[in-house]
Amino acid sequence: MMCLFYRPLQTKGNVMLKLWSLITAFGLAAFPGFPAEQNSSLLKGRLLLPGIVSTGLFERDFTLSSDGKEIYFTVMGPGFSVIMTTSFIKGKWTSPVPASFSGHREYFDAEPFLSDDGRRLYFLSTRPLPGESAPSGWGYENIWVVKKKKHEWGKPVPLDNAVNNGDNNYCPTLSKEGVLFFTRSPRGGKREAFLYQAIRTSDGLYLSERLPFPLNSHSFQFNSCVDPEGNFLLFISSGHEKNFNINDIWASFYSEEKGWSHPVNLGTCVNFPGGNAVSVSLTPDGKTIVFASRFLNTEQIPPVLTYENIHLFVQGPQNGSSDLYAISADILLPLREQARWDEE
């Protein structure tokens, strides 16, 4: 299947802020702001909300409220990482602002994930655990949760030490049944990362375990996202011999009889040549994949460069930084048919 990717329209050197037909075509009618004049399945990655969550900044991660009117994502830069939020109010998306619990220079926050009821938000943070001190920058990563009281977020608290065990633990994602999936890598040691799951027990604590082979079949798979029903897991694999880029997005499918399948590369619809996967997420209904990729669209570079149009180029998406894209989860249907398990 030939796959193309979206290039934003330009006018007089400016990136047009185009709200294109996307989410309503996939059955998530609750996601507002997208006209439904095109009802064909979107089987090619398209920039998500250019000018709002896809700009010239380094944007990644995505989580959407169940009513489709609130987005949380991450903006990173040299010396900072902030969880941002935008809301759909009076027919348009608001200018993003830092989430009330994020935006502190002393520590980095990233990888937000909203629970199904929208009352809890899990995220990665480098803020110190109680009784500990944290070094500046990355390398001290734990999973935290913040609960919403009425309409405001409360104070973040870390998950227990079955999850935050002294290694780096990050990228939380939950199934509807409450199973937590996350990534764990050694702190200050060997460059490797593996996918884990944690189940909450009756006493409120977690029991965590490394996911089995063949899901963890490579030395560096990370930043997973579980289907709400637990039918598949999307994740990034770095340096895999079958990658199209350094970092590609893969999928593993779950069978109650067989367990997790051997991972399958999502192909160039998502892992388009010249891109580099940064994160992968799903909308609450599991019908749309939202992923971040670093891609330089050389066609957007003006043929005759001026100081002004260079500024316009670097302030827009696809300038080589990370942007958010969306694609129908229907691309997984043929991949599931191709998936294999050990006994086959």
In order of their start, the domains of the chain are 42-338 (2.120.10.30)
* pLDDT value at residue 292: 97
Question: Using 50, 70 and 90 to split pLDDT, how confident is the model at 218?
Answer: confident
Rounded percentage of the chain residues whose pLDDT exceeds 70: 87
pLDDT in tens, 99-155: 999 999 999 999 999 999 999 999 999 999 999 988 888 989 999 999 999 889 999
Mean per-residue pLDDT, 248-269: 94
- In angstroms, the CA 107 to CA 135 distance is 9
Q: 254 or 38, which is more confident?
A: 254
The reported pLDDT for the residue numbered 97 is: 98
End-to-end CA distance of the chain: 26
Question: Taking 60 as the threshold, does the pLDDT of residue 339 lie above it?
Answer: yes
Show the tokens assigned to 32: 């507002």
Cβ–Cβ under 8 Å, residues 9 and 50: no
Give the residue among 306, 342, 324, 325 at the shortest CA–CA distance from 12.
306
pLDDT at 24: 31
**Do residues 122 and 112 lie in contact, with contact meaning Cβ atoms separated by under 8 Å?**
yes
* Whether the predicted pLDDT of 207 surpasses 80: yes
Average pLDDT over residues 212-240: 93
Stated as kind and residue range, the H or E segment containing 259 is strand 259-260
pLDDT reading at 4 higher than 70: no
The pLDDT value given to residue 26: 32
Q: Given pLDDT bands bounded at 50, 70 and 90, which one contains residue 210? A: very high
pLDDT at 289: 96
Is 44 or 338 the better-scoring residue by pLDDT? 338
Question: For residues 78 and 61, what is the distance between their CA atoms, to the nearest angstrom?
Answer: 17
Give the model's pLDDT for residue 32: 52
118 alpha-carbon distance from chain centroid: 17
Mean pLDDT of 60-89: 97
Query: Strand pairing partners for 147?
Result: 120
To the nearest whole percent, how much of the chain has pLDDT over 90? 75
Give 72's contacts (C-beta < 8 A, 6+ positions apart).
61, 62, 63, 83, 84, 85, 99, 112, 114, 121
Instruction: Give the C-alpha separation, 159 to 111, whole Å.
Output: 15
DSSP for 267-324, written as a single string: -TTTS-TT--EEEEEE-TTS-EEEEEEEEE-GGGS-SS--HHHHHHHHTSSSEEEEEE
The string of pLDDT tens digits covering residues 270-282 is 998 888 999 999 9
pLDDT at 103: 95
Closest of 218, 129, 204, 226 to residue 168, by C-alpha: 129
Dig out the tokens for 303 from the structure.
């043929």
Residue 213 φ/ψ, nearest 5 degrees: -65, 140
Tokens 């086959």 appear where? 344
pLDDT at 246 over 80: yes
d(CA 305, CA 39) in angstroms, rounded, equals: 39
Going by pLDDT thresholds of 50, 70 and 90, the confidence category of residue 343 is: low
Residue 20 or 86, more confident: 86
- What single string gives the DSSP state of each residue in 157-223? EE--TTTSSSSEEEEEEE-TT--EEEEEE-TTS-S-BEEEEEEE-TTS-EEEEEPPTTTT-SSBEEE
Q: How confident is the model over 47-62, as a mean pLDDT?
A: 96
pLDDT, residue 219, reads: 82
Mean pLDDT of the chain, nearest integer: 87
**H or E segment and range at residue 120:** strand 120-125
What mean pLDDT is predicted for residues 89-106?
96
pLDDT of residue 3: 52
pLDDT digits 0-9 by tens, 173-203? 999 999 999 999 998 777 899 999 999 888 8
How is residue 116 annotated by DSSP?
T
Residue (of 307, 321, 322) closest to 13 by Cα position: 307
Residue 88 has pLDDT above 80, yes or no: yes
Q: Are 317 and 50 in contact (CB under 8 A)?
A: yes
R_g of the chain, CA atoms, integer Å: 20
